[in-house]
Amino acid sequence: MRALNIFTHGDTLVVSSETVADGSGVQHKNVLELIDANRSDFEEFGHVAFETRDGYNNHKVRIALLNEQQATLLMTFQRNTDQVRAFKKALVRAFFEVAGKVAPALTSDQIVQQALQIMVERTASLEAKVAADAPKVLFADSVAASKTTILVGELAKILRGNGAELGQNRLFELLREDGYLIKRRGSDRNMPTQYSMELELFEIKETAVTHSDGHVTVSKTPKVTGKGQAYFVNRYAPITDLAVAS
């Protein structure tokens, strides 16, 4: 397991998303997807900072730097395995120990009392949030595993059914603005960007079209994967009872 390294970024104690992924026993890319899909929730506890480092074969690795509240929130998204439970305790303990070293003017009893108070308040807040988000979690669990792909227009219907005032044209515009579909004019307009393909949010359906003069062209259509459906409902739909369009 990667060393549980808590360090200072600016004036804030943080832990890296790589450390959380390793300690939880999940892939780092899945942790980043959770953060990206729920960015507004994480940023209720402060700005999420990102850094990059050189990975294998000169590949750039994107890393999120999470403060204690954000790391605690991230843990609520993880399945409650023995490894996750043990890592939660280790994470809290590490933040407390480092905080004590950074602020030596506080006595150990004061640190413990502050920690207990913070944990009581944070637990109540997170439990309320988890309860409110339960429909989204159920939706994500069921849809993300689905092999069925849908058109962007069908995704717009799902989003409208879950409280998002979006039609097909507005959704295309939003996906382009947010970097999921190609924005520039040309033959590849509205095709998935490299970023969204790496996240496995889209597939491209190719259809051969035979014209009257006999020549054949290939028509390409972006289709949203099950994983993408869960991702975009988490990103764009308000918290409500989620209904999947049949």
Give the separation between CA 58 and CA 156, rounded to whole angstroms. Answer: 38
221 and 164 in a common domain: yes
**Last-in-domain residue among 50, 75, 105:** 105
**Last-in-domain residue among 49, 71, 105:** 105
Judge whether 180 lies within some domain.
yes
Predicted local distance difference test score (pLDDT) of residue 91:
87
101 and 12 in a common domain: yes
174 and 99 in a common domain: no
Give the separation between CA 210 and CA 103, rounded to whole angstroms. Answer: 72
Judge whether 174 lies within some domain.
yes
Judge whether 23 lies within some domain.
yes
* pLDDT tens figures, 9-62: 888 899 999 999 898 888 999 889 989 988 888 888 888 899 988 877 778 889
15 and 95 in a common domain: yes
**Last-in-domain residue among 44, 78, 105:** 105
Overall number of domains in the chain = 2
Structure tokens at 48: 């999420």
160 and 73 in a common domain: no
Asked whether the predicted pLDDT for residue 185 surpasses 70, the reply is: yes
Residue 175's domain spans which residues?
150-236
Judge whether 117 lies within some domain.
no
**DSSP line for 123-191:** HHHHHHHHHHHHHHHHHHHHHHT----EEHHHHHHHHHHTT----HHHHHHHHHHTTSB--SSSTTTTS
Judge whether 114 lies within some domain.
no
Predicted local distance difference test score (pLDDT) of residue 239:
45
Asked whether the predicted pLDDT for residue 246 surpasses 50, the reply is: no
Asked whether the predicted pLDDT for residue 231 surpasses 70, the reply is: yes
* pLDDT tens figures, 107-164: 566 656 666 676 667 666 666 665 555 555 544 544 444 567 899 988 888 888 777 8
> Which neighbouring-strand residues pair with 100?
none
Angle between helices 17-24 and 28-37 (to 10 degrees): 120
Predicted local distance difference test score (pLDDT) of residue 108:
60
- Average pLDDT value over all residues in the chain: 79
Asked whether the predicted pLDDT for residue 240 surpasses 50, the reply is: no
Model pTM?
0.43
CA 209 distance to own-chain centroid: 38
Helices and strands, counts by H and E, the chain: 10, 7
Return all residues near 114 (Cβ < 8 A) that are at least 6 apart: 106
Judge whether 113 lies within some domain.
no
Judge whether 69 lies within some domain.
yes
Q: What share of the chain has pLDDT > 90, as a percent?
A: 17
Under the banding of pLDDT at 50, 70 and 90, the label for residue 101 is: confident
168 and 97 in a common domain: no
Mean pLDDT of 51-80: 85
Give the separation between CA 115 and CA 120, rounded to whole angstroms. Answer: 9
Predicted local distance difference test score (pLDDT) of residue 123:
67
15 and 92 in a common domain: yes
